[in-house]
A = this chain, B = another copy of it.
Amino acid sequence: MLGGMQDWDLVVTNIIDHGAREHGTREHVTRWADGSETRTNWAQVRRDALKMTQALRAAGIRKGDRIATLAMNHSRHLVSWYGAVGVGGILHTVNPRLFEDQLEYIVNHAEDRVLLYDSAFAPLVEKMKPRWPTVERYVCYDAGPGGQGAGSEFEDWIGAYDGDTQWEKCDERDPCMLCYTSGTTGNPKGVLYEHRSTALHALAGLQPHAFNFDSRSVMLPVVPMFHAASWGLPWAGAMAGVKFVFSCVNDGQVLYDLMQREGVTHSAGVPTVWLAMFQHCDANGLPLPKLQLATIGGSAAPRFMIERLMKNGTQVAHAWGMTETSPIGTCGAPTWDWAQKSFDEQVDVVQMQGRPCFGVEIRTVDLGDMATELPRDGKSAGALQIRGPWVIKRYFKAEQDTVGDGQWFDTGDVGIIHPDGSLQLTDRTKDVIKSGGEWISSVELENAAVGHPAVAEAAAIGMPHPKWDERPVLFVVKKQGAEVSAEEILDHLRALVARWWLPDAVEFVDEIPHTATGKISKKDLRAKFADYVLEA
Contact = CB atoms under 8 A, between A and B. Distances in A.
A455 to B, nearest CB: 38
Interface in A23-38: 23, 25-26
A394 interface: yes
Interface in A367-408: 387-398, 403, 407
A419 to B, nearest CB: 8
A22 B421 contact: yes
B394 A1 contact: yes
A388 B6 CA distance: 7
A361 B209 contact: no
B207 A207 contact: yes
Contact of A336 (B241, B388, B393, B403): B241
A3 B388 contact: no
A327 interface: no
Contacts of A334: 214-216
A4 B206 contact: no
Given A6-B388, A8-B389, A356-B22, A209 B204 contact: no
Q: Which 3 A-B pairs have the closest CB atoms?
A: A3-B192, A8-B389, A3-B396
A1 B397 CA distance: 8
Contact of A333 (B191, B214, B333, B420): B214
B216 A175 contact: no
A336 B3 contact: no
Given A207-B207, A336-B243, A392 B22 contact: no
A323 interface: no
A108 B492 CA distance: 78
Contact of A203 (B1, B23, B173, B203): B203
A240 B391 CA distance: 20
Given A208-B214, A214-B209, A333-B215, A358 B203 contact: yes
A336 B216 contact: yes
B215 A392 contact: no
A132 interface: no
Contact of A391 (B6, B357, B392): B6
B335 A393 contact: no
10 contacts: A5-B392, A6-B391, A7-B407, A18-B356, A18-B358, A26-B336, A207-B207, A209-B215, A214-B333, A240-B358
A95 interface: no
Contact of A207 (B6, B240, B333, B358): B240
Given A213-B208, A334-B214, A336-B241, A191 B393 contact: no
Given A22-B421, A207-B240, A358-B18, A2 B396 contact: yes
Nearest to A396: B3
A239 interface: yes
A514 to B, nearest CB: 29
Contact of A190 (B3, B18, B389): B3
A391 B6 CA distance: 6
A207 B18 CA distance: 15
Contacts of A193: 5
A292 to B, nearest CB: 11
A197 interface: yes
B389 A216 contact: no
Contacts of A403: 6
Contact of A390 (B5, B213, B392): B5
Given A3-B393, A243-B336, 13 more contacts: A2-B192, A4-B173, A4-B194, A4-B393, A5-B192, A5-B197, A5-B391, A8-B389, A15-B358, A18-B358, A207-B207, A215-B335, A216-B339
Contacts of A212: 208
Contact of A394 (B4, B25, B197, B420): B4
A394 B6 CA distance: 8
Contacts of A175: 2-4
B4 A239 contact: no
B21 A361 contact: yes
Contacts of A2: 175, 192, 396-397
B336 A398 contact: no
Nearest to A408: B6
A209 B22 CA distance: 12
Contacts of A23: 336, 421
A361 to B, nearest CB: 7
A500 interface: no
A5 B402 CA distance: 10
B213 A207 contact: yes
Interface string A178-209: 00000000000011111011001001101111
A2 to B, nearest CB: 6
A468 interface: no
A398 B3 CA distance: 7
Interface centre among A209, A388, A392 (most CB of B within 10 A): A209
